[in-house]
Amino acid sequence: MDYVTLNNGVKMPLEGFGVFQVPDPVQCEQAVLDAIASGYRLIDTAAAYMNEKAVGAAIAKCGVPREELFITTKLWVQDASYEAAKKAIQTSLANLGLDYLDLYLIHQPVGDYIGAWRAMEEAYQEGRLRAIGVSNFNAARLLDFCESVTVKPAVDQVEIHPFFHQKEAMKVMADYGVIPEAWGPFAEGQFGLFTNPVLTEIGRSHGKTAAQVALRWNIQRGVVVIPKTVHKNRMEQNFDIWDFALTPEEMERIDALDTGRSGIVDHNSPAFIRMLHNLKIHE
């Protein structure tokens, strides 16, 4: 495993395990246990995934010292205000059974996220959050945010894969020392990623799959990846990317696949923003 150093000196694994769309507590707990047994140390969840308690149960049982794990969770839109965020941070810590989080993210750039960030900055200064960041902030939103806050975000978790490079957002991240983290590094199966001829051909030359090539491409660009699966054999395959490297020519061939758009979600859609506001995770 390789690591990246965040803008506050904290080291973060370049590959982690995500539990989005695994709400069943038994399945989620087992998946996290399998992931940790397979070598993963970064576990990524969110209040809105409704599985923090299951992740916490796995952390308690895994046998790996807490300091070797890197646990991320996220603040939901419903709690995007100063007072609500203070409560949400405590709720997530309690759900996970932890005294501190390694990374806490604003899940969506919606609601009073500036007020929420003030609460996050306080928890960061108190040591309950080792690093704080954002998720789904596009280039313009991230730039405005970085110019408006005291503690610059350590991470921006966005959709990044061979068919959507987020070039503008990546440039802003570089300008402000923000580490990019890719949710959906497989494009959630869109664009035919798993059978793409370019990825498949490059993978064949290294004895790897198209999926492994897609992960390695992001890693070599300094992008943290969090692939998701509940199948242990797939977890192991996704983690088996540290024994090869893509050549500059191979990187360029993959770079040429960029479509400049998401194949998963339109974050600028009014209907999507309304859905985010309407999705309540607690009373």
pLDDT tens, residue by residue, 125-142: 999 999 999 999 999 999
Six-digit token string for 212: 């492994």
Name the pLDDT band for 17 (thresholds 50, 70, 90). Answer: very high
Q: Which residue has the tokens 């490297």?
A: 245
Distance CA 55, CA 32 (A): 7
Instruction: Assess whether 104 carries a catalytic annotation.
Output: no
The torsion defined by the Cα of 108, 88, 36 and 216, in degrees rounded to 10, comes to 20
Q: What is the pTM (predicted TM-score) of this model?
A: 0.96
Distance CA 153, CA 246 (A): 30
Q: What is the pLDDT of residue 263?
A: 86
pLDDT tens, residue by residue, 78-107: 999 999 999 999 999 999 999 999 999 999
Residue type, position 75, single letter = L
**Per annotation, catalytic residue among 40, 49, 104, 124:** 49
Average pLDDT over residues 14-37: 96
User: Whose CA is closest to 154, among 30, 31, 5, 1?
Assistant: 5
Name the pLDDT band for 201 (thresholds 50, 70, 90). Answer: very high
pLDDT tens, residue by residue, 260-273: 999 899 999 999 99
